[in-house]
């Protein structure tokens, strides 16, 4: 009997890495006290890579020299992209530089975690809702601490209460009060819902992308299984399906590169927009 196929196994935080399982090339026992730390290790690698890259770039930029080399130009372009396309449109010209260090770090960290899953046999930590939830929680704290610092505790809490003015008798005034309470409750709930949206959209997109790649490659194993082969076509079915699956996965992997950057952009841009809304509420 063939083993059970789990399309989500390669994106779960399991305590092993299957490199070439058919020949027994695997890494096991990636755990501490019975808890898998594979994603923690991958996150540590990403954090270390981003940290080293930023420190190196900072040492180059502090002299004010002209950028030289592909790496220097690439990293500096990414930082300018975050400043001009994320921080300034989201937070506003006046506040952008204040939040730029956090937004640059967030963008590069999420981007690195998205990219590391494209490496064969590794996984994207952002395909775990626990990881994206932790990132969203940090952004949640930054967003609302910014609001409290800008308006004060009482002032910031009042920014969630809209101004409603209705002219009319007592019935109209009561209706206005009910509408006011309902909208205020929705606004307070939205403060928490936004963090959930940040976590879920990043997690769902990364999980879906890697799962689709797995299922397309699984077609090769499927047609190799005698249980699913068509008797009259079993001799050529594998060679008909295998090139198509490999070519499609290759094309989708290139798309995954774009999605890795896009999702990092969206997560960081929404964080910047929410910071801007906390500091400059619409009502």
Residue 22 has pLDDT above 60, yes or no: no
CA 99/CA 104 separation, integer angstroms: 9
Closest CA to 132 of 114, 159, 150: 114
**For the chain, what is the mean pLDDT?**
84
CA 127/CA 200 separation, integer angstroms: 10
What residue spans define the domains of the chain? 9-279
The count of residues in the chain is 283
CA 261/CA 45 separation, integer angstroms: 18
The mean pLDDT of 46-58, rounded to a whole number, is: 93
Output the pLDDT for position 73: 92
CB 131 within 8 A of CB 110: no
- Using pLDDT thresholds of 50, 70 and 90, give the confidence band for residue 216: confident
CA 68/CA 57 separation, integer angstroms: 11
The mean pLDDT of 42-47, rounded to a whole number, is: 94
Share of the chain above pLDDT 70, in %: 87
CA 51/CA 58 separation, integer angstroms: 10
Please give the helix or strand (H or E) that residue 78 lies within, else none.
helix 70-82
Least confident among 27-31, 57-61, 82-86:
27-31
Residue 170 has pLDDT above 90, yes or no: no
3 state SS for 102-124: HHHHHHHHHHHHHHHCCCCCCCC
The beta-strand segments (E) located in the chain are: 17-20, 25-27, 31-32, 35-36
* Bridge partners, residue 218, by sequence: none
Residue 1 has pLDDT above 50, yes or no: no
What's the longest Cα–Cα distance across the chain?
84
Closest CA to 206 of 257, 248, 246: 257
Q: Can you tell me whether residue 36 is helix, strand or coil? A: strand
Residue 214 has pLDDT above 60, yes or no: yes
CB 17 within 8 A of CB 122: yes
Residue 16 has pLDDT above 70, yes or no: no
Residue 6 phi, psi dihedral angles, 5° rounding: -115, 110
Q: What is the dihedral of CA 190, 273, 200, 47, to 10 degrees?
A: -140
Q: What is the pLDDT of residues 226-266, one digit of tens each?
A: 655 555 555 677 777 778 888 888 888 788 888 899 999 99
Output the pLDDT for position 261: 92
Residue 18 phi, psi dihedral angles, 5° rounding: -95, 110
How far apart, in Å, are the Cα atoms of 263 and each of 18, 21, 116?
26, 31, 14
Q: Which residue has the higher pLDDT, 11 or 205?
A: 205
Q: What is the pTM of this model?
A: 0.84
Residue 91 phi, psi dihedral angles, 5° rounding: -95, -20
- Using pLDDT thresholds of 50, 70 and 90, give the confidence band for residue 2: very low
Output the pLDDT for position 254: 84
Output the pLDDT for position 178: 86
Residue whose tokens read 């975050």: 82
Half-sphere exposure of 78 (CA within 13 A, CB side): 24
Residue 179 has pLDDT above 80, yes or no: yes
CA 123/CA 128 separation, integer angstroms: 10
């Amino acid at each position: 009997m063939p083993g059970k196929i789990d399309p989500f196994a390669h994106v779960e935080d399991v305590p092993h890495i299957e490199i070439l399982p058919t020949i027994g090339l695997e890494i096991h026992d990636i755990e501490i006290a019975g808890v898998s730390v594979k994603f923690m290790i991958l996150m540590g690698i990403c954090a270390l890579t981003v940290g080293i890259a930023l420190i190196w770039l900072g040492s180059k930029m502090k002299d004010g020299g002209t950028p030289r080399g592909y790496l220097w130009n690439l990293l500096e372009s990414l930082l300018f992209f975050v400043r001009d396309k994320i921080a300034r449109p989201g937070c506003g010209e006046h506040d952008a530089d204040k939040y730029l260090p956090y937004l640059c770090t967030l963008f590069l960290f999420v981007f690195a975690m998205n990219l590391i899953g494209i490496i064969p046999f590794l996984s994207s930590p952002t395909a775990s809702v626990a990881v994206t939830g932790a990132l969203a929680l940090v952004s949640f704290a930054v967003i609302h601490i910014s609001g409290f610092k800008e308006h004060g505790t009482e002032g910031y809490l009042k920014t969630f209460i809209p101004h409603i003015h209705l002219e009319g008798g007592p019935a109209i005034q009561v209706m206005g009060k009910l509408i006011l309470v309902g909208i205020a409750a929705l606004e307070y709930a939205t403060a928490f819902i936004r963090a959930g949206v940040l976590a879920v959209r990043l997690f769902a997109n990364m999980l879906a992308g890697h799962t689709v790649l797995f299922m397309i490659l699984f077609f090769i194993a499927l047609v190799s299984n005698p249980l699913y082969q068509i008797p009259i076509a079993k001799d050529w079915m594998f060679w008909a399906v295998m090139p198509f699956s490999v070519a499609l996965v290759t094309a989708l992997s290139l798309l995954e590169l774009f999605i890795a950057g896009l999702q990092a952009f969206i997560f960081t841009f929404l964080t910047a927009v929410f910071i801007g809304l906390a500091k400059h509420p619409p009502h």
